[in-house]
Structure 1
């Protein structure tokens, strides 16, 4: 009996097919989509409103006016949304490992991480994206930025690089879930909270020890703060060399490559719970 040789589907094609199926399922519920998007925009708007209240009270934050702060906030929020839209299923890593649900991804003819990321999706990050882009557009005219083609390309690289920095931290810690069973508290209650609470402010308002920690230990500064200083022509106030701020978007791809390799390296330690 003749056998038909099968051509494996390329990894990127697998990802796009599964992603399309996941989003198509979510978009069937249009009322839920609209309410979720509105909720996401309003939630992020509260954070920006708090910044505005502080500026209205004191006139500036660390020497940054409202336009500059809004731009920093917009960059941070857009980068956050850019990674949470395709990688939001990482929040379910602990649950999938603890219940043995991860077994299914090890026996199917597709990439393990690709399957896991697209078994379902969450539309709430779209609200973050809409809010972030909206703030960026509004702040672009208020902030003192020379919008040359180079500046636009650098901004796009900043958003992509910042997204990969955050994603890398989450993906790497998710790899530890194969050993520790639970990393949610560290990922969301610690890392994500720090990113959300401090990412929209200039680091000059913090003590030097904290600035060092948020730059070299937990690289929050590389997500938005350092590149924003470049675009706002404020590199003179940095406690690091200006060239490091210019190169900030490059950290994202490097960290993501390391996190991706680490995640798959930890996968060999996965042991099914048998449930």
Structure 2
């Protein structure tokens, strides 16, 4: 409990410092928000364009695919808000800032997350929730009292998957001098998780389900609310897969930190 309170205090202090910085340059804050909205808007337009040429994607309707995209945006926005260390290698390894992080009492990964949080990205989660609710209404899906609680559990599981994979990706910097090349590849692969896995061949479906489980940050958990899964347990695997992937990512990170010997090592 003491550690939890300590981390909450750190988050409050870092967030307050972030606000002070952004209030000095408010235009930058709104440019970031607008940039994120435009990017996500273009992805949504792409879905609409696809359905101008076909009535269904596999056997999925336009509203169902939009629903999945809304869920995908919620999890992606939350992850990006609290973990935006895309330049970890250059900033912390090449420039030596990891040495500073390791002299402080808080866990090294927690400090990296706090120093790189991106609150404007949270707007994407809000927009995703709006898209999801709109598609929910369009599809006429039933609403149960437990659905909000299930959504929270599913989204947390999805965020754990993001965090585990990208923590491991960042930790490659402890082992390799040139880890950044794989980043764009993983980022592109994650976007496949917002589409029905049935439209892919068996190899890609296996990759998105069990190796880089991005299907659990989009289509599988969203399918629970759509009533689309014959194997309903796949949706409920989302928090389980999230815990496993996060644990592996943390282990990989902690082992890398123990191996780290300072800037230039």
TM (normalized to structure 1)? 0.86
> What is the CA deviation profile of residues 10-38 of structure 1, one whole-angstrom value per residue up to 9, with x for unaligned ones?
23433332233234423432222222212
Aligned to 1:245: 235
1:94 and 2:84 aligned: no
Deviations 1:132-176 (A, max 9, x none): 223123222123422112222212222221111111100012122
Structure 1 residues 123 and 18: CA distance shift in structure 2, 3 A? closer
**What is the SS of the residue equivalent to 1:149?**
coil
Q: Does 1:60 align with 2:50?
A: no
Runs of 5+ consecutive residues of structure 2 not aligned to the other structure: none
Residue of 169, 172, 177 corresponding to 1:176:
172
The answer to whether the aligner puts 1:166 opposite 2:162 as a matched pair is: yes
TM-score w.r.t. the length of structure 2 is 0.89
Pairs within 5 Å for 1:28-47: 28-47=24-43
The SS at the match of 1:268 is helix
Aligned length: 262
8 Å contact 2:83–2:118 — kept in the other structure? Answer: no
Q: Residues 72-100 of structure 1, C-alpha deviation per residue, up to 9 Å, x if partnerless?
A: 00111110111110111x21210120121
CA contact (8 A) 1:106 1:112 kept: yes
Measured after TM superposition, the shift of residue 120 of structure 1 is 4.5
Aligned-pair CA distance for 1:229 = 1.8
In 2 relative to 1, CA 12–181 (structure 1 residues): closer, same or farther, beyond 3 Å?
farther
4+ aligned runs moved over 4 Å, structure 1: none
Structure 1 match to 2:207? 213
Q: How does 1:183-198 map to 2 (within 5 A)?
A: 183-186=179-182, 188-196=183-191, 198=192
Aligned mates of 2:25, 2:133 — CA distance in 1: 29
Q: Distance in 2 between matches of 1:179 and 1:61?
A: 41
Residue 127 (structure 1) shift = 4.0
Return the alpha-carbon distance in structure 2 between the equivalents of residues 99 and 264 of structure 1.
Answer: 20
Q: Distance in 2 between matches of 1:27 and 1:120?
A: 17
Q: CA RMSD in A?
A: 2.3
